[in-house]
Structure 1
Amino acid sequence: MSSLSSGVVVVVVVVVVVVVVVVVVVNVVVVVVVVKVVVVVVVLVVVVVVIVVVVVIVVVVVLVVVVLVVVVVVVLVVVVVVVVVVVVVVVALVVVIIYLYSA
């Protein structure tokens, strides 16, 4: 009878050891999977942040260039208008002076 109970104890110990090993292995696998998922999520977040920053920089640069072009065009238009007005005034003065001296 004692050898039968020794056999039962050995079987119980083996079953407990197997269960503990399986639980430890499953936990390690779960931890590895969770770590991989966290790493993937962090990498995706970093990639998204980098893309957003690059897009914002490009948009700001394009807006600055557009504003500079608009400012240059406005300045050129103002200069042309001023030159035309000055030329018209000078020509008008010359015509008036010639008319007054010829009379």
Structure 2
Amino acid sequence: MEVVVVVVVVVVVIIVVVVVVVVVVVAVVVAVVVEVVIVVAAVIVVVVVVVVVVVVVVVVVVVFVVVVVVVVVMNV
């Protein structure tokens, strides 16, 4: 009878330890994935902002050049 109790206790302890380890590993993996997603999202936002700024600058420069060319041509 005592052997059965000891075996049951050992099995329960092993199960609890395995569950705790699995939960901790899953939590760490989820945290890492979330961090990676956050970093990737931040990088995407930065890239989009840079692209938008570059496009705006290019458009402004092109418009400025066109206006200057038109003004110069009109004066000639």
| TM-score (norm. length: structure 2) | 0.90
Matched, 1:53 2:29: no
Task: List per-residue Cα deviations over 1:48-68 (Å, max 9, x = no partner).
Answer: 011111111111211111111
The whole-number CA distance in structure 1 between the counterparts of 2:15 and 2:52 is: 55
Q: Which residue of 2 aligns with 1:79?
A: 52
Matched, 1:65 2:56: no
The whole-number CA distance in structure 1 between the counterparts of 2:69 and 2:19 is: 74
Matched, 1:90 2:71: no
Q: Which residue of 1 aligns with 2:10?
A: 37
* Deviation of the 1:99 alpha carbon: 1.1
Q: Secondary structure at the match of 1:98?
A: helix
Q: Which amino acid aligns with 2:10?
A: V
4+ runs deviating over 4 angstroms: none
The whole-number CA distance in structure 1 between the counterparts of 2:55 and 2:4 is: 76
Segments of 5+ residues of structure 1 without an aligned counterpart are: 1-27
The whole-number CA distance in structure 1 between the counterparts of 2:52 and 2:11 is: 61
- State the superposition RMSD in angstroms: 1.1
- Number of residue pairs aligned between Structure 1 and Structure 2: 76
The whole-number CA distance in structure 2 between the counterparts of 1:71 and 1:63 is: 12
Q: Secondary structure at the match of 1:76?
A: helix
Tell me which structure has the larger Cα radius of gyration.
1
